Amino acid sequence: MPMSGMTIHGLSKSYGNNVVLRGVDLQIRAGRIHALLGPNGAGKSTLLGCLSGAVRPDAGTITVNGLTHTGFTPQSALKAGTAIIYQHLELVSDLSAVENIFLGSEQRTPFGTVRKAAQRRIASELLDRVGADFDPSRPLTSLTMGQKQVVEIAKALHHRPEVLILDEPTAALSSRETDILLGLITRLAHESGLAIVYVTHLLREVTAVADEVSVLRDGSVEWTRPTADLGIETLIEGITGAPVARAATATSENRPVQHDRPPLLELADFRASGAPGVSVRIGAGEIVGVFGLLGSGRTNLVEALAGARPSEGGFRLAGSDLRLSSPGIARRSGIALVPSDRKSQSLFSSLSAQENVLMPHYRRLSRGWRRPRVEQHVFDSVAGRMSLHPMSAGLAGDRFSGGNAQKLVMGRWLMDGSGVTLLLLDEPTQGVDVGARAELHRMIREFARESERAVIFVSSDVEELNALADRVVVLAESRIVGIVPGDTAERELMVLAQPAPSSGPSEVRSEGNTAA
């Protein structure tokens, strides 16, 4: 019998000293939905990259359709029979569904012109198959997220894949759209016989559609089991990576917060560009973590707090009401943001380390003219305190390792005299090595403890939340669904953060308890 589905054997990948995949073995069977779980940093993205041709594995094999491969390019992956659908859709929004489905594989006449009628016919068939209810010649801009997701799947099906990989496909969908999508995926597996790899953080999706579950941790597959054999506790452990035994039952009482002083920051029905209102009070010296799943609005919230996104509602910092209409205004009010995407949003890659740290401060440090000695001195003291490595003022930003580049962009605001009272951090230590991470944590703590300052940081890494946060604000669908102590266990946070549109968050929690 020919091997159907996909077999992954001994797949390994490392970047320099950083071993990401340590010999992944995985068997994905045709006609089954295989959920792939694992905490952040377990190597899921790298594994998917290997399967889609974005990443070249160092060792190991991938067998699809009876043929064994040692790695893919994006084209050869499609040819071999694997198709991937990412969280962020890769469609051209000005083109129609038909044109998107045939993008790069247009059907041509001998004269090189596109066979429009034939394309339209095939696309309509594909779209019918996935249950599309819209005109395939409409431009994508007029479709909803769910409809676009369906176009993406139709596009993948056009390549007749054996294996369809979906990477958190429902992150941007409404609950109704999610239901439709899950139904479609089930049909594709059980009726059309596709092997489906389904990557998700969402418990209810695993229980709803998955036939089998594999958990990836530290770059290898920890276990694979049929979903029917799994209890909720085991699943949560799979998603979070935290053993249930370690997950202390968190009390919902907050750690005592000083109430003798007025809060440093007070949000009253603060709304980030169309999101529901958020109300919270944060005291001076406090470090508050923000936890939420992908699509929970966590980045929107901190960007709005930094003036980088329109917002409405009450925002009171150190006793004065503010209206944040630009990052410049936020800066002058003492608010600074370190965005999560260092490369595109914070690092000046070709500028020197010193320029990277001092960029927001040149005007402040000057007396009309710049004062090179003063600049040099300020940089040296920041770099010294952060243990920058290499300690080189002139080295370009992109020559530093991830951790040290992060020190540069965080050093901007952590330095003395930066004038920052509210520091906002989005995934402050993502992709940062352990040593640099500890140093960054130490600096964040020192920063907050000094005088009238506070830190709000978004993190999907619970270890970091536990290590750093006094309290954790849990977001789901842009609403605060809980404010819990900083040492709350991952399991608890994960349960709180599950979006539950039909039932309230409390019911999800009780569901978790009964299954235990």
Partner 1 sequence: MTEVIATDAKSEPAPSLKSGLLTGIDSIMPVATVGLMIFFAVNHSSFLTKDNLLLIALQSAPLMVVAVGAALLLMSGYIDLSIGSVMAVSGVCAGLTFNSAGVTAGVMVGLGVGLAVGLLNGVLIGYFKLSPIIVTLGILAAGRGLAQVLSPDALYGFPSAVLEFGNARVLGVPTLVWIAVFVVALGALVMTLLPAGRHVVAVGVNSRAAYLSGIPVRRLVLSLYALVGTLSALGGLMVVARLDSAPSGTLGAGFEISVLTAVLLGGIPYSGGKGHLWRVVVGVWLMGILTNGITLMNVSSQLSQVLTGAVLVLAAALEGVRFWIHRSSR
- Residues in contact with partner 1 by CB under 8 A are 10, 12-17, 19, 22-23, 58-59, 218-220, 306, 308, 327-328, 330-332, 336-337, 339, 344-351, 355, 358-360, 362-363, 365-366, 368-370, 399, 412
Question: Cα separation of 509 and 483, whole Å?
Answer: 15
232 vs 336, beta carbon nearer partner 1: 336
337 vs 496, beta carbon nearer partner 1: 337
CB 202, CB 170: distance < 8 Å:
yes
Minimum separation from the CB atom of position 327 to partner 1 (A): 5
Minimum separation from the CB atom of position 308 to partner 1 (A): 6
Minimum separation from the CB atom of position 338 to partner 1 (A): 9
173 vs 318, beta carbon nearer partner 1: 318
Minimum separation from the CB atom of position 265 to partner 1 (A): 18
Tokens of 106: 């247009």
- From residue 469, give the alpha-carbon distance in Å to each of 34, 40, 332, 398: 35, 18, 26, 30
- From residue 100, give the alpha-carbon distance in Å to each of 93, 120, 157: 8, 11, 12
Minimum separation from the CB atom of position 433 to partner 1 (A): 12
Identify the sign of the CA torsion 380, 382, 385, 386: negative
Q: What strand order describes the sheet that includes 195-199?
A: 82-85, 163-167, 195-199, 33-37, 212-217, 220-226
CB atoms within 10 A of CB 284: 19
356 vs 429, beta carbon nearer partner 1: 356
CB 19, CB 31: distance < 8 Å:
no
Tokens of 242: 């935290």
Minimum separation from the CB atom of position 176 to partner 1 (A): 34
Question: Cα separation of 400 and 159, whole Å?
Answer: 41
CB 474, CB 250: distance < 8 Å:
no
Minimum separation from the CB atom of position 449 to partner 1 (A): 24
371 vs 509, beta carbon nearer partner 1: 371
5 vs 397, beta carbon nearer partner 1: 397
Angle between helices 505-515 and 232-240 (to 10 degrees): 110
330 vs 454, beta carbon nearer partner 1: 330
Minimum separation from the CB atom of position 63 to partner 1 (A): 18
13 vs 155, beta carbon nearer partner 1: 13
Report helix, strand or coil for 177.
Answer: helix
